[in-house]
Structure formats: C-alpha cells, structure tokens
Amino acid sequence: MAKVDITVEVCGMAGDGTIAAGGMINEAMSLGGYYVLGFDSYPAEIRGFGRCVTHSRIGSEEISALQDKTHVLISLNDVQSRSRAPFLQENGMVFFDSNPASYVTEEESLAAVLKTGVKLYGMPFSDLATQAAGSPRGRNLSALGGFAAVCGIDPDLFRQVISNKFESKGPRVLDMNLKSFDAGHEYALENFSHRLVGLFKGLEVEKGEKKVMLSGNSAIGKGAVDAGLKLYFGYPITPATPIMEYLAKALPPRGGQVVQMEDEIASIGAVLGASYAGARSMTATSGPGFALMTELITHGVMAEIPAVILDAQRGGPSTGLPTKTEQSDLQAAVFGGPGDSARIVIAPTNVSECYKFTVKSFQLAERYQTPVIVLTDFFLDNRVENVHPPHSTEQELQRLSVTPDSSKQGDYKRYEDTPDGISPRALPGMKGFNFVATGLEHSQYGAPDYSPENHQKMSAKRHRKIESALRDLFKPEEFFDDSEVDLGVIGWGSTFGSVLEATQEARRKGLKVSALKITSIYPYHAREIRAFMNKCKMILIPELNFEGHLANLIGHLHNSDVFRLNLVTGSPIPPSVIVSEIERLISGGVK
Amino acid sequence: MSAERFVIIGNGPAGNEAAEILREKSPRSRVTIFGKESIRSYKPHLLPDVIAGKVDQENIFMKPDSYFREKDIQLRLGQRVKHVDFNKRQVLLEHREVVSFDGLIIATGGKPRIPEPLEVFEDVMLTLKTAFDAQLWVDRLSKTDSVLIIGGDLTSLSLTRALINLGKKVFFIVNAESFWPLPFNERLSTEIQARLCEKGVEVLNSRTVRRLTQLSDTSVEVETDCEKIRVGVVGAFFGLVPDVKFLVRSGLDIDRGILVDENLQTRFANVYAAGDCAQVYNPVIKDYWVSIGYENARTLGRIAALNMLGEMLSVKSSPESIFSLNGVKVNTSWWMEF
C-alpha cells in the first residue's frame, strides 16, 4: 500500500466549531488505524474573536512532527483561512462554504488567494446543516462530511466519533449532528463524483490493543494520577491549565485533591508543605508563573524537599505569546533563582514521554529530595497523538524515598553528608526524629550554620546529590548509530520530533547525519553527549528560542563551536527547515 | 487604456490567448482567468484519444500550472461566474464573491447543443466537451460494448474512430441538424455515411429518435421512427452553442452569442467577447457571424486583448470565408480541412 502522509487543517473563527472539527478528524483517523498527530492553535484572548486552526498530520507510519505543507484545508471562515493559503501544497484541496450569508469582496475571499493548482470544493455548509438538522450549527459537520466523501474516508468512522462526542447530550442533539454530517457527505458524493480522490483508502487497522487519543497535558495528568499524586496546587495559566482541569476530575475519586491557589507563589509553597509532610504533590505553570516560583524552588533545594513542578513553556519573556510555543525557559529552569541551586530538570519529547516522565519525576523528587522540573512546551502540551494507553510497571511506580533507620533515632542528621549526597529523610510524625526544613544554610543536623567550611561542604553535598541523579535519569538516545557522521543534530523537547524527521529525510538524500535526543537537561550526561559530538564533524542544535539555551548548556562539550538554529516564530520548527540547514552546513555554506 | 485589473471569463483557447497578450503587453496589470472547470485548459480535440487510451489525461493540458505562476496570471479554476454587473464593473461569482474589473473579456466558449426534441433525454445521453465528459465515457465504456451516436459533428466522428479502436460496436444515426449551425446537405450526409460504413459502423436508417430509456447502468433502449435497439451508451453530437446563458439578464446584447463590433467590443466600454461565445459584426456583409474552432478562438482572444489595451484592430475575415446558413453567418477555421 502506498505510504500515506497527509496534513489536514481546519480554520475558522472562534465559535465556528473549528477545534471540535479538527478533534473529530483526529479521532476518526485514529479509529481508522492511522497514526495521528494533531495540534490546535487559537487566539490568546479568553473570549471573543480570533483565528482558530487545527493541524492534523495523518500517516500510515509513525509521526514525530508537524509538516509545513498542508494537503487539505477545511475553511469555516474564509477571511481567517486566507492566512493558511500559502501553506497549501500546489495540488492541495480546499473545502469552503460556497454560499455564505453575504457577498464577500476579493479582499475577503479565500478562493481569491489560492495558488494555481489548488482544487476547490465549494459546499453550502450552512445550508446543508440547516436543511438537514434545522440549524446551521452543524455546518462544521457538513464540512467534515464533504471531506470524508471526497477523500475516501469511511463515514462510519466519523459517525462513531460523533456518537461518542454527542451521545451524552441526548438523542436529539446527536441526531442533528449525524444528519449534518450525512448531508455534507451526500452532497459531496453527488456533486464531486468525478473529483473524489481517495486519499485515505485501504489502510488495515492495526490489530491488538486499541490506541487512544491523548494530549500531552492529559498524559501528564494521567502520569501524575498513576504515580499516586495526592495534592495538586495550581493557578491557571496557558498552556498548563488543562492539567489542572484533568486532575480536578481524575484526582478526587482516587482520594486526592486539586486546590486552586491565589497565585503561583502560594502554589509552590503548598507543594513544598505537602511534600514536606510526605504527600506526593505537584504544580504546573508556565514561564511567568515559574518566574514567581523560583525563590521557593530554591527553598526546596536548600531545605531538600521533594517537589514536582511542570513548566509548560510558551512564548516569552513576560506575558509574551500566551498561546504560542517556545522553548525559552530552559535556562530559567536550570539556573533560575538565587544561589547555587542545582535541581533536576527533565524534558519529554512526545506524548508518551509526557506520561513516563511525569511518573519518573515523583521518584526522582523523592529519592533526591529536591525540586524536579518537567519542561514541556505549548506544542507538546496541546498536541494530541494516538498512543497505546500508557501504563507503568510496579518498578516505575515504586516509591524511592530514603528514610532513616531506627538506629539514627536521637542522633538524626537530617542533612547528613553522605557519599552520594542523599540524606535519609524523616517525615513529620516519625518517632525519634527531628523535622527541619530551613532555607538558611545549615549543619548536617539542620541548625543554622553560616561558617565558610560548612557552606562549602553543604554546597558540595547538594550538588553531589544532583550529579548522582544521573544514574536514574534517561540517557541521551542516539538514532542511527553511525561511526562517522558529518553532522550530528541534537534536539530536546518537542523540537526533537522535527530533528528526527529532518535527519531521516537528510539520510534519504544520502547525507551522513545522525540525531541525538536529550531528555535529561540537568544534570546532563556529559560523557555520552561528548562521545556523540566527537564522532560528528559538526553539531547543529535547533531550538525554539532565540538565545540557544541547550547549545549554551552543552555546547562546550564539543571540540569546536556548535551550530545553532534558533527560531521564535511561535510555531514548531518544520522538519524541512532543519533539512535545509543540514544541507547548507554540509555543503559548506557555513559562515 | 491603462486598466490595472483585467478579468477574463473562460479558460479556453480565447481566454488563455487573451491572458498571455495582456500579461505581455501590460506587465504591471493584474490578470485573472475564471474557469468553471476544475482543471486548467486543455486541448479538447485530444479527448477522443483519451477515451481510446492513446493519450493519458495528464498529457492533454496546454500549459503547466507553473506557467501561470511564472507569468503571474491568476488562474481561478472551478469558480463559476454567475452574473456580471456592467454598471458597477463587477463580476459576481457563484460562491458569492464580488470581483471588480477595469477591463473584461468574455470567452466562455460553447457548450454541447441538444436539439429541443431530445432535451427530455438529456440525462440519458453523453456528450463530449470537457475532460469530465471524457472520463464519463471511459467509465461507461468499461462496462459496455455497444454505443449509439446520434448526430454527426466532427467530435462524433473522432469519437467513433476511438470507439472502433477500442473494439466497440458502434451504431450511428446521422442527423441533419448535427452540424449546427451548418445543416447537412444530401451530398455531405451520403459521404459521411459511406465513410462510417467503411469503418464498420452500423449506420441506422432512422432519422428520428422517439424515446430513450435507461434500463440499467449498462443498457439503454432506443426507440426510433423505424426500429428499437438496445445499446450500452448513447452519445449526442449536435455541435455547440455559445455558453452565455448566465449573461442573459446582464444588459449585454445577445443573439445566439454576445453581439460585438468588428473590434470585438460589446456595448459596454472595455468589455469584449471572443471565441465561440461571440457574434462578430462584419461591416462588409452588414451582419453578425459566429466563430467556431480552436484557431479562430485564439485569434479572437488575441484581438480582444490588444484592443482592450488601446489598439483598434478589426477581425479579419473575408466575406467569402463566412458561410450563411439558416440565417446565421459562420466562420470556421476547420471547415475547409473537413
């Protein structure tokens, strides 16, 4: 069967049902056995007008990134969709409302800005929905019906998804939506009979465990629940809020609680308090909220209290670009805050890892008694992938708390200077132990001690502890494993998906390239990273930030300067952009 | 004139030729072609070869997509013009978009003509004007072995040749009206019938089709004035009529086609018509004539474009080349070849 790799976009104004339509495409294609990666972009304003776009990349093989070319554009608002026209493939397809409520000028028309070769499928979306269901509200479903008919998608997949989505709203609402879909489907079959393209016909559905559509944020929520999270403290902020929403539903039935705090400072304070008392707790925020938390995070470092903090990065600095993606909190996550406050920072690269890393973060926090920061980004948080239902093994869920044995009773050193820096931690209520949590520099017993010798020794202990965490952290993963490489590309976070696809494409072109995935940001596996770098003549690190945060952190490991590709466009880096940079560097176009 | 925005309705040879001239002579202007078909312009005379499988459908196009991008000619395909408001100088598209113009060339060409007595059977008969029609023929022929052709225009003869090559059984009813606007005379009719018979075509004596009944996807019952047969497909070939119905209430002067002067201008300033949709005034014969054929269309498209840019070219057609038939004056580029 021919390889399928199709990108579908739905574009409309807030309120057009754009996001819902895109979600149904993802669900339907997932049911049909395809790999799906979906991502929505929407306006920063909480209410009102603005452009919504959903991107769905649908493939017969595993997908790691979004592409920068669209094959199918479904326009629910032509004025808004004009901005998507440049991204259409030369032979792309456009579904649009051919009978809008009023005449539009050429300056407002989508059809007026399409490149020659793009195929137009005009359908009276609103009329079809109104005639079929008595209301134009289902016009997005009529559009989906047309899309399914023309592209050769089994309509029952969509009917199933529509049923799942609207069943709870009662038979009348479900019927209206099904009728709207069917009206669009029938219209397209009748009117475009000679223009059906069958983009998606003939895929065998994978047998075995059924995949589920999961967003990065949902995966984080599920990971936290599975890890035994008891208390979530947070303050809403894009793009982290869906984690709190997920947990608000999922946690109480498991005996946990979600508490909305007055701000991010209170949130991290509450997390430290709960963790101090022995309860697994976490918070999630974004750049601006993370900035507020930094002082108390360093308190967690100094007092050696476990804490899980998820930083869902977005465009910055300050309020920045609330609904755009960026990877510009890395330096703040690793270095932010007063003093030498080393902490653990990890960064998943896909939805499955969002789950896995969240589970892991609780183990790390408890074993190393320190804040663990999980760095995600808007694209990773909000994208959906169809994945096998995530689950953890007993070992992965095991608590790794290091507690003192009874022999220490009466002479308990809360901050004992051990070889790996990990001091057995007594929880409040344990008989015969003292319980301190101080932000002041302290002795091994926890008493304030500002002497030069002690500060030197305890600083070394805390940093030794963080370094020792390397044994439990995910090692860098090298793809392709060649002995000689002209250019090695290193990626982290959601950008790694683009790095992987770009290197795969470059290799298909015969270029000697390889890829390295780094998920443990701090501490990092210097030896492994250096080994990779040393077999590569050149190193390229693409990042969604302006300053080259990862390159700044690990660039010194290479024997010459690393090359950087830094974009802050608010969108994921398309693999094609990285491929171009690879070709430029390898062909000697280095300045 | 120094119009900035030129709009061409019609993506055939006249429209494309006009666009090329406008782009060449007026590099800074905006040129837009509206075509109701979803594919770019192609060579319609190759359609019978597509049906015969001799030519791939990908190879019938006149120009690649890249040509239009390179020339900065906006080609808006699958976008049908519904109306033109000549006073506001606006084109109204079927999908409710309004496009203003400074200069307009109407080059909508022709559409298959079905004589009135057969109109009621329109859905049962295939024609062959567009690539879509050709695809329909291909689809239908894949399921049947026999075809009845009614008519007798040039397209039908090319198609018949293709059908014979495909090994299909072909029946033919030669109709006097088929070469509209040229009627068959006895000599022509006899000659065509003889040629068809030589090729193995069964020419029916019938002259009138009384009833067509679609029995199934692969069977049509044909009842004529003297016999009843069953075939897989029926094709109707009675020439073309100007495709100008959408302009009937626009204020343009329309007879069979759009009436234009010898410079191809309509009664509205900077509005021209060219190709099969135009009826051109000839001051020598003091009458209008219609133009048929690929080369004529290109010539008229070129003249319309040049005149819109300020030239005052007249269409060169000597009175001798204009036939007068049934009260209609006709100039054809291919007539002599036939």
ipTM of the complex: 0.82
Name the residue among A99, A103, A116 with its Cβ closest to that of B98.
Answer: A103
Cβ pair B97:A112 closer than 8 A: yes
DSSP string spanning A166-226? HGGG-HHHHHHHHHHHHHHHHHHHHHSGGG---TTTTPPPPPSSPPEEEEHHHHHHHHHHH
Q: What is the per-residue pLDDT across A206-228, written as a single tens digit (0 to 9) for each?
A: 656 688 999 999 999 999 999 99
Which pair of structure tokens corresponds to residue A193?
């009979």
Asked if B97 lies within 8 A of A105 by C-beta distance, the reply is: yes
B55 in reach of chain A (CB within 8 A): no
> Regarding predicted confidence, which is higher, A43 or B53?
B53
Q: Does A102 touch chain B (CB under 8 A)?
A: yes
Q: Which of A113, A116, A118 to mutate to test the interface with B (most CBs of B within 10 A)?
A: A116
Shortest CB distance from B38 goes to which of A98, A105, A195? Answer: A195
Grade residue B117 by pLDDT with cuts at 50, 70 and 90. Answer: confident
Interchain proximity B95–A103, CB inside 8 Å: no
Q: How far apart are CA A417 and CA A434, in angstroms?
A: 17
Q: Is the peptide bond before A448 cis (omega within 30 degrees of 0)?
A: no
Q: 């007879």: which residue's tokens?
A: B255
pLDDT per position as a tens digit, A425-484 = 999 999 889 888 899 999 999 999 999 999 999 999 999 999 999 999 999 999 998 888
Among the ranges A372-386, B115-129, B215-229, which has the highest mean pLDDT value? A372-386
Using a CB–CB cutoff of 8 Å, tell me whether A61 touches chain B. Answer: no
Question: Chain A: residue nearest B99 by CA?
Answer: A106
DSSP type of residue A556: G
* CATH number of this structure's domain B117-238, picked from the four choices 3.50.50.60, 1.20.140.10, 2.40.128.110, 3.30.300.180: 3.50.50.60
- Check CB contact under 8 Å for B38 and A119: yes
Radius of gyration of chain A (CA): 26
C-alpha count within 13 angstroms, C-beta hemisphere, residue B23? 19
Does residue B109 have a pLDDT over 70? yes
User: Which residue in the set A104, A115, A195 is minimally distant from B96, CB to CB?
Assistant: A104
Average pLDDT over residues B275-292: 86
Tell the residue number behind the tokens 């790390």, with chain if given: A364
The rounded distance, in Å, linking the Cα atoms of A430 and A433 is 6
Q: What is the pLDDT of residue B334?
A: 41
CB-based contact A104 B97, cutoff 8 Å: yes
Of A75, A129, A130, nearest to A97 by C-alpha is: A75
B258: helix, strand or coil: strand
Contact between chains at B96 and A117 (C-beta distance less than 8 A): no
- Cross-chain residue pair A102–B96, CB shorter than 8 Å: yes
* Joined tokens for residue A571: 């969108």
Query: DSSP characters for A387-412?
Result: EPPP---HHHH--------GGGTTS-
Question: What is the homologous superfamily of the domain A213-389 according to CATH?
Answer: Thiamin diphosphate (ThDP)-binding fold, Pyr/PP domains (3.40.50.970)
Task: Tell me how crowded residue A451 is: count the other CB atoms within 10 A of its CB.
Answer: 10
User: Does the beta carbon of A117 lie under 8 angstroms from any beta carbon of chain B?
Assistant: yes
Show Cβ contacts of residue B256 under 8 Å, excluding neighbours closer than 6 positions.
Answer: B181, B241, B242, B279, B290, B328
Q: What is the number of alpha carbons within 13 Å of residue A157 lying toward its C-beta?
A: 24
What string of H, E and C letters represents the secondary structure of A64-75?
CCCCCCEEEEEE
d(CA A425, CA A431): 13
Domain boundaries, chain A: 5-195, 213-389, 406-472, 477-586
Q: Is the pLDDT of residue B333 over 50?
A: no
What would the CATH number be for the domain defined by B5-111+242-332? 3.50.50.60
CB A12 within 8 A of CB A85: no
Global model pTM greater than 0.90: no
- CA gap A466, B57 in Å, rounded: 67
Cα three-residue angle A295-A296-A299, rounded to 5 degrees: 100
Q: Does the pLDDT of residue B238 top 70, yes or no? A: yes
Confirm or reject contact between A116 and chain B (CB < 8 A): yes
Least Cα distance to A161 among A146, A178, A176 occurs for A178
Q: Rounded CA gap, B143 and A458, in Å?
A: 88
One fold for A5-195 and A213-389:
no
Q: Does B132 contact A100 at a Cβ distance shorter than 8 Å?
A: no
The yes-or-no verdict on residue A506 having pLDDT over 80 is: yes
From CA A197, how far away is CA A212, in angstroms rounded? Answer: 28
State how beta strands A477-479 and A520-522 pair: unpaired
The full DSSP string for A25-62 is HHHHHHHTT-EEEEEEE--SSSSS--EEEEEEEEESS-
Query: Alpha-carbon distance A6 to A285, whole Å?
Result: 33
pLDDT in tens, B119-165: 999 999 999 999 989 999 999 999 999 999 998 877 888 899 999 99
* Strongest mean pLDDT among B197-211, B241-255, B305-319: B241-255
Contacts of A119 in chain B (CB under 8 A): 38, 77-78
CA distance between the termini of chain A = 44
Q: Could you say which DSSP state residue A511 is in?
A: -
Query: pLDDT above 90 covers what percent of chain A?
Result: 87
Q: How many CA atoms lie within 13 A of A198 on its CB side?
A: 7
| Cβ of residue A106 closer than 8 Å to a chain B Cβ | yes
> Which is more confidently placed, A329 or B321?
A329
Distance from CA of A353 to the nearest CA of B (A): 44
User: Cβ of A566 under 8 Å from any chain B Cβ?
Assistant: no
Query: How distant is the Cα of B76 from the closest Cα of chain A, in angstroms?
Result: 7
HEC profile for B25-88? HCCCCEEEEEECCCCCCECHHHHHHHHHCCCCHHHCECCCHHHHHHHCEEEEECCCEEEEECCC
Res A119 pLDDT > 80: yes
* Residue B336 pLDDT grade (very low, low, confident, very high; cuts 50, 70, 90): very low
Indicate the pLDDT class of residue A591, thresholds 50, 70 and 90: very low
- Chain B residues with CB inside 8 Å of A79's CB? none
Residue of B nearest to A114 (CA): B76
Domain with residues A477-586, CATH architecture = 3-Layer(aba) Sandwich (3.40)
Helix (H) or strand (E) holding A537: strand A536-543
Distance CA A33, CA A38 (A): 15
pLDDT of residue B293: 76
Q: What is the nearest CA distance from A16 to chain B, expressed in angstroms?
A: 19
Can the peptide bond before residue A322 be classed as cis, meaning omega within 30 degrees of 0? no
Confidence of residue A52 (pLDDT cuts 50, 70, 90): very high
B5-9 sheet: strands from edge to edge:
B73-77, B30-35, B5-9, B103-106, B271-273
What distance in Å separates the CA atoms of residue A175 and residue A166, rounded to the nearest whole number?
A: 9
Of all residues in chain A, the percent with pLDDT exceeding 70 is 97
Closest-CA distance of chain A to residue B290, Å: 32
Q: Between A and B, how many residue pairs show a Cβ–Cβ distance under 8 A?
A: 58
Q: What is the pLDDT of residue B337?
A: 32
Place domain A5-195 in its CATH homologous superfamily: Pyruvate-ferredoxin oxidoreductase, PFOR, domain III (3.40.920.10)
CB contact under 8 A, A103 and B96: yes
What does the DSSP 8-state code read for residue B307?
H
Helix and strand numbers (H, E) in chain B are 8, 23
Is pLDDT of B329 > 60?
no
Whether residues B93 and A119 touch (CB distance < 8 A) is answered with no
> Rounded to 5 degrees, what are φ and ψ at A173?
-65, -45
- Whether residue B96 lies within 8 A of chain A, CB to CB, comes out as yes
Tell which of B96, B98, B136 to mutate to test the A interface (max A CBs under 10 Å): B96
A 473-532 → B contacts, CB under 8 A: none
A100 contact residues in B (CB cutoff 8 A): 95-96
Residue A1 binned pLDDT confidence (cut-offs 50, 70, 90) = low
As annotated, the residues of chain B forming the CATH 3.50.50.60 domain(s) are 5-111+242-332, 117-238
Q: State the smallest CA–CA distance between residue B2 and chain A in angstroms.
A: 21
Q: Which residues of A touch B95 (CB under 8 A)?
A: 96-100, 111, 122
